[in-house]
Amino acid sequence: MTHRTLSTDVLGVCFLLAFSATVLQGCGGGATTTTITTTTTITTTTVTTHTTVPPTPAPPPPPQTPLRPLLGISYGALPCGHRFADPCDPNTLPPADMMTEGYRTQWGPSNSLTGFKGRDDLGAMKALGANTVRLYHSLGYKQDQKYETSDEDHSGFLDHAHWLGMHVLPGYHSGGMPCPNFDCYELWKENTLKGFKQGFAKNGTWHPAVAVLILLNEPDFLGGQPDCLPKGAAWCRVKAVLSALDGVLAAEKEAGVTQWGVNFTATWSFAQMTSIDGKVTGPGVFGFQDMVAGIARPSIANYTTRTPQEEMEEAFLTRWTHGLNVQAPYDYVQGVVRAAYKKNADFGGHPWFIGEDGELWQKPKAIKHSASDAKNDANAGGYFLGMSFFQFETTYWKGGTEMNFGIFGLGNDTIGKTPKLNGIERNVHCLTATLTHDGGLNDLNDQRALPLAEAWGGSLEHISGLCKPTNVVEKPLIT
């Protein structure tokens, strides 16, 4: 028997603390405590892998760590584009869903019993001090017909993350805006139902590693779509998010999958915009007010909900977390958002987090300062949950300004290979903590892993995927 305790604080935010996950719920009312007794069965999930990679046996997972403070790392490390790696031919670009078995050689650990070699990127995040991984294209990812898709099983990734005590923030694929007239209900419902069959559901609930579902990433850019008229209109972005939420709720109901412990978010950009109701103007926070206004009156976004209005409002009240992506230093972002919360009646009483913290052009000392301050602010309570650092690996395959981000780069040595991804077995290279490369970070800014580890109480010492000898700076940062 296990006991789960549900509490609400004076901020109107519920904290659900349990052995499997701790997720903040936006609730109203005063301080109350209800004890719920349930029976929890821990089972072993069989992971289907390609024939050369048998699953790694593992003991039952340890208790899940609290989500506050959210210490996350954004993960989208496609194995191509670096001068040591395979080229990124647009016609053979590997699938963007990193949670599948096709990428086990990257995210999974080695297995001495089978001889399987894995870089264990999830283990590297844990070693740095992270407790959360944020992902993209995890549900609903479909490539053009000229591309293959990777093995769609996600249970191995989720099981390994859960065993490490890591929360998972999977994102829905929304590239190219596949929703007709910005109505995502049917597609998000379909993709959620498929996700339940691909490992996202376990024992009748969402997989215990799943903490927050990212319905859309930077939906404010939908204002640039040709069919969003007048150009830049707010109804397009708000309708997309409302209908996506509507579709996921419908999928949960149809599949009989309980929502316990899983929140929703949309991560807005830090662009300067005005909310759909005209009440809030500011970077990112316009989206927070968009959701408050859109849930209260969906017709403001030209949308009629299929889920009963009271159920939409209940889901928003109890399961919504505001989110935004930034490149600016944390202290500046925190100041802007804190002032907006104070001025705008706390945006419905919901917590917020930074889905991508880019720290563009920041030196190691500044990165350590930002990561440390964010952790302390999240621990202090209030509306701020924490941040996801952008990103695990330099995005060589994108090039351009994306070369200015990343915790790790790639070295020359290979650890193993992926199975065929769009017809090519990809080399998986070792990681380097020094990021200096042509067209990217300069010598003053090329250490991002170490300051993050120092701020989060982690270390580079036990990261098995680092190149040998490692590029670890042994002395504390002074630059």
Residues 113-124 pLDDT 10s: 999 999 999 999
Q: Which two tokens mark 227? A: 């069919």
Mean pLDDT of 27-32: 36
Whose tokens are 């009156």? That residue is 297
Q: Name the pLDDT band for 421 (thresholds 50, 70, 90).
A: confident
State what percent of residues in the chain have pLDDT above 70: 79
Pull the structure tokens for residue 255.
């599949």
Task: Give me the half-sphere count of Cα atoms (radius 13 Å) on the Cβ side of residue 295.
Answer: 21
Stronger pLDDT, 406 or 377, i.e. the higher one? 377
In the block, tokens 């990103």 appear at 391
Q: State the burial class of residue 431 (Cβ atoms within 10 Å of its Cβ: 0-12, 13-18, 19+).
A: buried
**Cα separation, 105 vs 419, whole angstroms:** 9
Over 50: is that where the pLDDT of 45 sits?
no
pLDDT score at 129: 97
Q: Report which of residues 151 and 18 the model is more confident about.
A: 151
| Residues facing residue 263 across a β-bridge | 212
State which H helix or E strand residue 124 sits in: helix 121-128
Helices 155-164 and 121-128 cross at an angle (nearest 10°) of 30
| DSSP bridge pairs for 322 | 352
Burial 188-226 (b: 16+ CB within 10 A, else e): bbebbbebbebbbbbeebbbbbbbbbbbbbbbbbbbebe
pLDDT of residue 285: 97
Predicted local distance difference test score (pLDDT) of residue 150: 47
> 429 with 416: CB under 8 angstroms?
no
Q: What six digits make up the tokens of 293?
A: 């206004």
Q: Can you tell me the mean pLDDT for 393-409?
A: 82
The residue with greater pLDDT, 8 or 192, is 192
pLDDT digits (tens, 9 = 90+) for 124-159: 999 999 999 999 999 988 643 333 444 589 999 999
Query: 239: buried, middle or exposed (CB in 10 Å: 19+, 13-18, 0-12)?
Result: buried
Residue 277 has pLDDT above 50, yes or no: yes
Sign of the torsion formed by the C-alpha atoms of 296, 218, 392 and 95: positive
8 A C-beta contact, residue 107 and residue 136: no
